[in-house]
Amino acid sequence: MQVNQFFASLWDTYTDIAPQAERIQALFKSHGEEVINDHIAFRTFAHSPVSLEKLQPIFEEMGYEAYGAFRFESKHLKARCYKHTSEVDAPKIFLSELLTEELPQECQDIIAKLVAQIPEDAASDPAVFWKKRLWDVPSLEDYLTLVEHSEYAAWLSTMGMQANHFTVSINHLKKFPTIEAVNQLLQDEGYTLNSTGGLIKGSPELYLQQSSTMADKIDVTFAGGETRTIPSCFYEFALRHKQADGTLFDSFIEGNADKIFDSTNTK
């Protein structure tokens, strides 16, 4: 699959449940800005037909290579990032997976029921990344159990396989060249930003600064017929700084990402 086609399909699915992203992109364009995507992120279950190692070949076939590995102890995750080997402006990809064996047994049992429904060949088609749930919607009781122990697991149980966020590259903006300017624009327009650890995650000294909106909300009807309004997807903003050798930092910071994950929290 062509890279442009891949991201276009992801964007269509993403904006269907995160309409704020289209509005924010239009806002930047109304100021004469060209909006370039820095990276996108996916979530998945380890030890499943859509584990990180099984999904990675899809990226490799499109010309991507892995170049970083991360571990999030408190959220029971591991992750890898990927960049395109030849297309400089192709968005980077951040793929994380939930280490279900680190969760309480009751959560493991719930997730096992979901994973059991995933087709064994699910990772053979790039379209898996915009198919959303590959399992039946859980019960409200199961969802709330997951929320208690892992917001990540709860989100994944309802939202499934799709990009949980796209990211505006502040480096490509002209009128809003700082993360402070971007955040002020968004707040002036009434958007709620993720305040975990402060509105700005990271620093110039770490070569990466990030901020994000809180996720949009959608109504989901659970297995027992109950309907609840829950978080869907969010929009991120990233400013990369030059390193000592003059090159632009192109990886990710665990401390930043750990806080960005909270953009889909229920509370």
Render pLDDT for 237-264 as a digit per residue (tens, 0 to 9).
Answer: 999 999 999 999 999 999 999 999 999 9
Looking at the domain assignment, is residue 215 inside a domain? yes
In sequence order, the 6+-apart residues with CB closer than 8 A to the CB of 127 are 9
Looking at the domain assignment, is residue 267 inside a domain? no
- Report pLDDT digits (tens) over 6-20: 999 999 999 999 999
Looking at the domain assignment, is residue 66 inside a domain? yes
* Residue range 75-85: mean pLDDT, rounded: 96
pTM above 0.75, yes or no: yes
In sequence order, the 6+-apart residues with CB closer than 8 A to the CB of 143 are 154, 157, 158, 222, 228, 230
Looking at the domain assignment, is residue 70 inside a domain? yes
**What is the identity of the amino acid at 118?**
I
Residue 205 tokens read as: 């000294």
Looking at the domain assignment, is residue 230 inside a domain? yes
Domain count within the chain: 1
Other beta carbons less than 10 A from residue 35's beta carbon: 16
Looking at the domain assignment, is residue 205 inside a domain? yes
d(CA 68, CA 83): 10
Q: Which domain holds residue 202?
A: 3-262
Domain containing residue 97: CATH number: 3.10.180.50
Looking at the domain assignment, is residue 176 inside a domain? yes
Yes or no: say if 40 and 130 are a contact pair by the CB < 8 Å rule: no
